[in-house]
Structure 1
Amino acid sequence: MTWYEAAEKPEIAEFDPVSGLAVTGRGEPGGAAYGASVGALYAVMGALGAPMVPLEGRWWVEDERSPFEVPRDEWWWHLFLRLPDGADGVGEAVEQVRPGVPAAARVQHVTFAEGRCVQMLHRGPYADEPASLAEMAALMAAEGLAVNGLHHEIYLSDPSEQDPGKMRTILRQPVR
């Protein structure tokens, strides 16, 4: 199993720790803070000369309600771009792009480990994700697994894709 692959039905997978560039923020996906953070990540990645990879997001809400009941401008996120093994010089790259991209000051080099996960490839618009998440929850219940971390999405489609039917997103949930 590789980081950027998932089956079209829920499956259990195991992942080693990964490192990359990250920005933490709050706000609507596609909103101003989100857009500035994505731009900063890609600017630093470019300054590093690292290969471009799909954007990822780990999401949560600080509310007892379902995330789908919480206004999107109250959603929290860790945006992430995976770096190749052994990449360094992040601090220098941040300083290089910071004059033109002030949000680069918030970019950090992080490592995180999800370990055991339930995941699947979601095809279609983000608005249809609840059906895929329900399939994942059913597998978790059948296997006696519990959530053990933040909801994780890997955006495999080009962000400028206009046809929602062509969108592909890996949905991943750490479990124990």
Structure 2
Amino acid sequence: MPRISIVKGDITQLDVDAVVNAANSRMRGGGGVDGAIHRAGGPAILDDCVARFPNGLATGDAGWTTGGNLPARWVIHTVGPNYAAGQRDRELLVSCYRRSLEVADELGAQTIAFPLISAGVYGWPSEDAVAAAVDTIGSADVAVEEATIVAFGDEMHARLLNRLR
């Protein structure tokens, strides 16, 4: 089981083996965390997405690309469920964390950073998004040693810290 730490900040600046991207199913970049990772990592990430995922990626699944210009060696892309659009199967959200950790394990990553998947524009209720992240990462049977959950704001940072206690 990975040790979990919580930080408030910019996931694109973290010096970890892999960062997780809350991607859309087309795997061609987007807004929010996805856009920030693509902008900071440069065109190599999009080029790798096009080559490795010509048909995109299914909701709940994960795959990796280069980290491009990021401090992280890899980006692990995962497609969260869009609660606002009616995708409300919690198992899909849990699968995003589980599959991302499995991919990290396959890559030999020891450190990984996650955003809160589906908690932004996809509208997943924040308390449950926090619970899914902390509980799934905290119970994972993987060789990844350290998992950092990155909160964008003060309120989410506080919720994550409360759940971790």
TM-score by length of 1: 0.28
Whose radius of gyration is greater, 1 or 2? 1
- Give the TM-score taking structure 2 as reference length: 0.29
